[in-house]
């Protein structure tokens, strides 16, 4: 056994022992997020950006935009392309190379939240129907993985979109304008341990097994995306409970950190 | 593109009721070389699943001394959809492979086969919405065909919201134009639904709608489960007769 594995086993026992007493190792409530910090507009070269700290987890999201061709089935709508990179600087277990299943899943679940909540008014991003629309590139760059990159990325993405300016003048397409945002989708990820849940799990908590459920809600508490991740069995009762918990947590994040009228 | 009306006179485009599955055909043990296999048709979906293993895992550093490693590859044939798709995994296939693998990690008694690999290969020959569910349903039968100990049968189906109506087992048009889609898989043991093993959703639904979706899905999977069980029984009955 490697030292790292032994450490992980010790952490796992500690997390489980605490859980038995109805506590989390860092003293948080079961439905409590770690401290969130949002630093918007930190990348001047990008059309929009945000650094989000969720406890010790850090994610940078940058938005770039350029005119391009629409999809044939949505000729009058802008296009969203979401990508996530788990760069080796963020964790001893991340390796360089093409996106693996974890980064693909991360990007696709964040993308679903933005897309399905219709957070971006894509019809306002049509330049010439069928020919030219704005392409929005959302690039998620994990820089420190201390657990729950999913929610850190979700918060960073909507924060970055909120300060995105469409660079129309650079392409000779009139004046720059603010990216039209009309919803605030927020994902809430819970670690599942038996019939218990821990919202916003830290890396130490995830040592008990990376079994999570992500539920994304829009500003009206509608559910817009769900992703069960990990080889575990989920009970119906816990799922229904988490629908409520997730909507409540998302509402709090919106009120505390994204207080913007849209 | 104009969205067609998907529900006319309380019926779906193909005449089905809201809680009605497409026709399903399941056959176990269809491939000679694989340790276990299954062919399934769910509506226009035509899907093959094969299981290899437990077998030695290479490279050796990937081996787990406490259990078998499960690998799952969902792959769509280039000709499986209207417009030819480039062969090989795209991001959607990578995600489907991941969540499907996790379904079977929870269900296979992998502790019985340390250091080995169990490979599940799913080839979608024709796709028409619901191919990940078809793949999981076939893989579950193929695993039993291969004689690999499992905690039960896994059965999967999708439910969609189209024109404000919740419908079981959406076909292509309903999936494409619908407001929401929720693929789900359950572990069924001794004829009873025990827990959720796959759960995804995209679209927009209220909490109450999601609860109704789950009920609709449970009704659907029980019907599919009976067909899976029949396919397995048929295969083993033949073996008994022959020998």
Residues 6+ apart with CB under 8 A from B159: B166, B167, B168, B169, B170, B181, B182, B184, B213, B216, B217, B220
Interchain pair A227, B199: CB under 8 A: yes
Position B6 in a domain: no
Alpha helices, DSSP H only, in A117-262?
149-162, 236-257
Decide: helix, strand or coil at residue B182: strand
CA distance A170 to chain B (A): 31
pLDDT in tens, B72-111: 999 999 999 999 999 999 999 999 999 999 999 999 999 9
Confirm or reject contact between B226 and chain A (CB < 8 A): no
CB-count burial class (<10 Å; 0-12, 13-18, 19+) for A83? middle
Q: What is the CATH number of the domain that holds B79?
A: 3.30.230.70
Q: How confident is the model at residue B3 (pLDDT cuts 50, 70, 90)?
A: confident
| Residues in chain A within 8 Å Cβ distance of B197 | 233-234
What is this structure's pTM?
0.93
The DSSP annotation for A3-54 comes to HHHHHHHHHHHHHHHHHHTT--TT---TT-PPPEEEEES--TTSSEEEEEEE
Position B105 in a domain: yes
What is the pLDDT tens value at each position of chain A, 262 positions in all?
566 778 788 899 999 999 999 999 999 999 999 999 999 999 999 999 999 999 999 999 999 999 999 999 999 999 999 999 999 999 988 988 888 999 999 999 999 999 999 999 999 999 999 999 999 999 999 999 999 999 999 999 999 999 999 999 999 999 999 999 999 999 999 999 999 999 999 999 999 999 999 999 999 999 999 999 999 999 999 999 999 999 999 999 999 999 765 5
Angle between helices B91-105 and A101-116 (to 10 degrees): 110
Position B107 in a domain: yes
A167: number of Cβ within 10 Å? 17
| Residues in chain B within 8 Å Cβ distance of A108 | 91-92, 95
Position A208 in a domain: yes
pLDDT in tens, B5-20: 999 988 999 999 999 9
For B83-92, the CB contacts below 8 A with 24+ separation are B91/A99, B91/A104, B91/A107, B91/A108, B92/A108
Domain extent for B204: 13-84+94-236
Structural domain count, chain B: 1
Q: How confident is the model at residue B1 (pLDDT cuts 50, 70, 90)?
A: low
Element (H, E) at A140: strand A132-144
Q: What is the CATH number of the domain that holds A113?
A: 3.30.230.70
Which candidate, A222, A212, A240, places its Cα nearest to that of A186? A222
Position A61 in a domain: yes
Position A78 in a domain: yes
Structural domain count, chain A: 1
- Residue in A117, A222, A239 nearest the CB of B196: A239
Position A1 in a domain: no
Confirm or reject contact between A226 and chain B (CB < 8 A): yes
What pLDDT, on a 0 to 100 scale, did the predictor assign at position A121?
A: 98
This model of the complex carries an ipTM of 0.90
- Residue in A115, A223, A235 nearest the CB of B201: A223
Domain extent for A161: 6-261
């Amino acid at each position: 056994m490697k030292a790292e594995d032994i450490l992980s086993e010790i952490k796992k026992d500690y997390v489980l022992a605490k859980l038995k007493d109805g506590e989390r190792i860092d003293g948080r409530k079961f439905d409590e997020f770690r401290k969130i910090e949002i630093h918007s507009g930190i990348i001047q070269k990008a059309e929009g950006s945000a650094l989000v700290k969720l406890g010790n987890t850090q994610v940078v999201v940058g938005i770039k935009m350029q005119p391009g061709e629409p999809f044939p089935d949505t000729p009058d709508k802008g296009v969203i392309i979401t990508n996530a990179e788990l760069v080796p600087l963020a964790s001893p277990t991340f390796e360089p190379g093409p996106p693996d299943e974890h980064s693909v899943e991360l990007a696709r679940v964040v993308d679903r939240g933005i897309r399905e909540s219709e957070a971006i008014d894509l019809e306002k991003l049509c330049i010439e129907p069928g020919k030219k629309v704005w392409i929005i590139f959302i690039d998620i760059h994990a820089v420190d993985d201390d657990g729950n990159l999913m929610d850190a990325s979700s918060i960073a993405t909507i924060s970055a979109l909120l300060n995105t300016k469409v660079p129309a003048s650079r392409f000779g397409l009139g004046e720059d304008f603010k990216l039209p945002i009309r919803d605030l989708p927020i994902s809430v990820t819970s670690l599942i341990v038996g019939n218990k849940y821990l919202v916003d799990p830290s890396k130490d908590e995830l040592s008990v097994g990376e079994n999570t459920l992500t539920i994304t809600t829009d500003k009206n508490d509608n559910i817009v995306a769900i992703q069960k991740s990990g080889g575990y069995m989920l009970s119906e009762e816990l799922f229904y409970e988490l629908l409520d918990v997730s909507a409540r947590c998302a509402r709090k994040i919106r009120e505390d950190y994204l207080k913007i009228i849209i | 593109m104009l969205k067609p009306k998907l529900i006319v006179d309380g019926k779906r485009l193909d005449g089905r009721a809201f809680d009605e599955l497409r026709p399903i055909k399941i056959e176990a043990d269809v491939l000679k070389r694989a340790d276990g296999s299954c062919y399934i048709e769910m509506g226009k979906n035509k899907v093959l699943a094969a299981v290899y293993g437990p077998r030695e895992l290479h490279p050796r550093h990937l081996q787990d001394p406490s259990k078998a490693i499960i690998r799952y590859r969902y792959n769509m044939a280039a000709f499986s959809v209207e417009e030819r798709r480039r062969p090989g995994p795209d991001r959607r296939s990578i995600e489907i492979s991941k969540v499907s693998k996790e379904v079977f990690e929870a269900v296979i008694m992998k502790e019985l086969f340390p250091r080995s690999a169990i490979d599940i290969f799913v080839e979608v020959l024709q796709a028409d919405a619901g191919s990940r569910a078809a793949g999981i349903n076939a893989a579950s039968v193929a695993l039993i065909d291969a004689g690999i100990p499992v905690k039960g049968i896994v059965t999967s189906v999708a439910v969609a919201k189209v024109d404000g109506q919740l419908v079981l087992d959406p076909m292509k048009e309903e999936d494409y134009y619908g407001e929401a889609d929720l693929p789900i898989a359950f572990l069924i043991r001794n004829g009873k639904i025990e827990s959720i093993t796959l759960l995804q959703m995209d679209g927009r639904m209220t909490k109450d709608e999601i609860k109704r979706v789950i009920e609709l899905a449970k009704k659907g999977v029980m019907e599919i489960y009976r067909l899976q069980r029949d396919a397995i029984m048929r295969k083993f009955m033949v073996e008994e007769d022959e020998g």
